[in-house]
Structure 1
Amino acid sequence: MLYFRLPFSESIFTVNEISDQKSVSFVSFDQCEIIGFKGTVEKTNFNQDIFSGWISTEFLEFKTENQEDYHHKLEKVIEFIKENQLSKLVISRRKSLEFENGQLNFTQSFLNLCESYPNAFVYFFIKDGKSWIGAFSELLGRFNKKTSAFETMSLAGTIPVNETWTDKEIEEQKPVTEFIKNILKNFSEDVEQSETYDHISGNIKHLRNDFKAKINAKDLEKLISELHPTPAVCGIPKDFCKNAIKNFELHPRNFYAGYIKVETDESIQYFVNLRCAEIFRNAALIYVGGGITAESSPEKEWRETELKSEAILKNLSFETSSNFKP
């Protein structure tokens, strides 16, 4: 099953699974795994309570990377960044939450996320023993089938909404913008770029630039493959940073920092899968990360990931009764 809501929409959608057309796909960070939903995208009333007890898979190892371990890892990351003169390397961690005496109410959690993040793509799915829930507003790409117009954005730098930008966040966002602009120029002769502005997402904000260009439909998938993963979730140079991530992160990212493809008759949209959690029958794994630079403070980066985890944690809803049946 799959339910989702598009940014700034009040409608909830599902896939009716009555055709062979693949309408929605979840692509993992390393692009080695794809979970697809075939059928036509259609609106739904979504009037059924769905619980984590419906999931067959249990999470058995409740070990979370603590602050001391995270600090120690980031000290090595910062040293690596300096040695290799990298502008940025994105490092993630996982935070576990055990469902001690209850079950996660997917329905209410999903609705909570919709209310908290009106500008986000919000979703949850259960399929083949796997389940994820998330809400994030970074657009990897949007293609209009009628006009061939393509839109994307550069989104990076994170601070609480009431704080002021520092050089660290400004310098972190610049290479993301340059990376996207340079790739778009290979696919279009006319690339429009907006000014940098604040992008509010709940209790935090990011720096953002918008891009518009006209491209050939046959180039769309190649363009997306070159954009992913952007420096906002990986680093620059891309392949070098992807290998570094494997060395520093002890866990697989799975669908975290991958992307979600949604195709309808009018458009194809690709959303970056951040602010998300992997849900098990008895627990949740919340995935969070941050862009590390030579000027990063491990203490500040820890606080930033804690802040990001609240995007999911504060919206999860639980039922204490154990008498749920699918």
Structure 2
Amino acid sequence: MIYYRLPFSDSIFTVNENSGQQSVSFVSFDEGETIDFYGKPEEISMKDFRDQPVFSDFLKTELLHFEEETYSDYQKKLDQVIRFIQENHLPKLVISRRKVLSFEPEEINLSETFLNLCKSYPNAFVYFFVKDGKCWMGAFSELLGKFHPSTSEFETMSLAGTLPNEESWSAKEIEEQKPVTDFIRNTLEKYSENVEQSATYDHFSGNIKHLRTDFKAKIKPENLDEIISELHPTPAVCGIPKDFCKTAIETFEQHPRNFYAGYIKVETSESVQYFVNLRCAEFFSNAALIYVGGGITAESSTEKEWRETELKSEAILKNLSLVKPGE
């Protein structure tokens, strides 16, 4: 099953998997795993959605023997990462961690959690799926790409740097976003002679904000897959240079990212959209793993980076619907 809501929409869609048309695909960070939903997207009424609630006890997989990374562990790892960045003169390297939430003897009402995310993040793509023994949910607004077949126009964004809404940008966040912007522009200029770039502005997402720059370009339809392949993973979820940083991530992160920082392809009659899978969690019958990360630079503070990941985890934590069994 899958349910999703597009940004700035009040409509919830599901996929009728009786037809052969591919409409939604989840691609893992390393592109080694894909979960496809084949079928025509169908809008589902709020009443029908609430009348068929899904709880965590519906899930067949239990999370066992998980040890959460402590602040001390994270601090030691980031000290190594920062030295590595300085030695290799990297502008940025993105490092993630997983936060565990054990909810036994309570359960999670997954359907209500999805609706809470929809309400809290109106500008986000929100999804919830259960398939092949896996359950994931997320809400995020970073667009890897959007293609309009009728006009051949391609849109994307540079989204990086994170602070609480009330704080002011420092040189660290500005320098963190700049290589993301440069990378996207340089990639698009390989495929289009006219790339439009907006001014950089604040992008608010719940309790935090990011720096955002928008891009538009006319492309050839046959180049779409190649452009997406070149853009993923962007420096916002990986680092620069891309291949070097992907290898470094495998060295420093002791866990697989799975679908975190991968992307989701959503096809409609009007467009093909690709969303970066951030602010997401993997659900089990007894617990949830919340995936969070941050862009590390030579000037990073381990304390601030830890706080940033804690803030990002609240996107999921604050919207969980916990219930006692039998309620």
TM-score when normalising by structure 2: 0.98
How many residues get paired?
323
Deviation at 1:188, TM superposition (A): 0.7
Aligned mates of 1:55, 1:100 — CA distance in 2 = 13
Do residues 28 (structure 1) and 32 (structure 2) align? Answer: no
**Residue 237 of structure 2, aligned match among 233, 258, 271:** 233
8 A Cα contact 1:141 1:271, kept in partner: yes
Counterpart for residue 139 of structure 2: 135
Do residues 90 (structure 1) and 90 (structure 2) align? Answer: no
Aligned mates of 2:179, 2:282 — CA distance in 1 = 30
SS at match of 1:181: helix
Q: Which amino acid aligns with 1:97?
A: L
Aligned mates of 1:263, 1:58 — CA distance in 2 = 32
Aligned mates of 1:88, 1:71 — CA distance in 2 = 17
Deviation at 1:110, TM superposition (A): 0.4
Aligned mates of 2:262, 2:126 — CA distance in 1 = 15
Q: Once superposed, what is the RMSD of the aligned Cα atoms? A: 0.8
Do residues 76 (structure 1) and 80 (structure 2) align? Answer: yes
8 A Cα contact 1:30 1:258, kept in partner: yes
SS at match of 2:25: strand
Deviation at 1:130, TM superposition (A): 0.2
Deviation at 1:265, TM superposition (A): 1.7
Aligned mates of 1:209, 1:42 — CA distance in 2 = 33
Q: Which amino acid aligns with 2:43?
A: K
Counterpart for residue 44 of structure 2: 44
Do residues 14 (structure 1) and 14 (structure 2) align? Answer: yes
8 A Cα contact 1:19 1:39, kept in partner: yes
Q: Which amino acid aligns with 2:40?
A: T
Counterpart for residue 306 of structure 1: 310
Counterpart for residue 151 of structure 1: 155
Aligned mates of 1:116, 1:19 — CA distance in 2 = 33
User: What runs of 5+ residues in structure 2 fail to find an aligned partner?
Assistant: none
Q: Which amino acid aligns with 2:207?
A: N
Q: Bigger CA drift: 40-49 or 62-71? A: 40-49
TM-score when normalising by structure 1: 0.98
Counterpart for residue 119 of structure 2: 115
Counterpart for residue 176 of structure 1: 180
**Residue 272 of structure 1, aligned match among 270, 276, 283:** 276
Deviation at 1:92, TM superposition (A): 0.1
| Cα deviation digits, residues 24-68 of structure 1 (max 9, x gap) | 000000000000000011211123211111111110023110000
Counterpart for residue 56 of structure 1: 60
Q: Which amino acid aligns with 1:174?
A: K
Q: Which amino acid aligns with 1:242?
A: K
| Cα deviation digits, residues 216-274 of structure 1 (max 9, x gap) | 11110100000000000000000000000000000000000000000012210000000
Aligned mates of 2:22, 2:64 — CA distance in 1 = 33
SS at match of 2:29: coil
Counterpart for residue 256 of structure 2: 252
Do residues 282 (structure 1) and 286 (structure 2) align? Answer: yes
Deviation at 1:322, TM superposition (A): 4.5
Q: Which amino acid aligns with 2:147?
A: F
SS at match of 2:236: coil
User: What runs of 5+ residues in structure 1 fail to find an aligned partner?
Assistant: none
8 A Cα contact 1:62 1:98, kept in partner: no
Aligned mates of 1:89, 1:14 — CA distance in 2 = 36
SS at match of 1:96: strand
Runs of 4+ in 1 over 4 A off after TM superposition: none
Counterpart for residue 197 of structure 1: 201
- Percent sequence identity is 71
Aligned mates of 2:267, 2:122 — CA distance in 1 = 21
| Cα deviation digits, residues 60-88 of structure 1 (max 9, x gap) | 02311000000000000000000000000
8 A Cα contact 1:260 1:273, kept in partner: yes
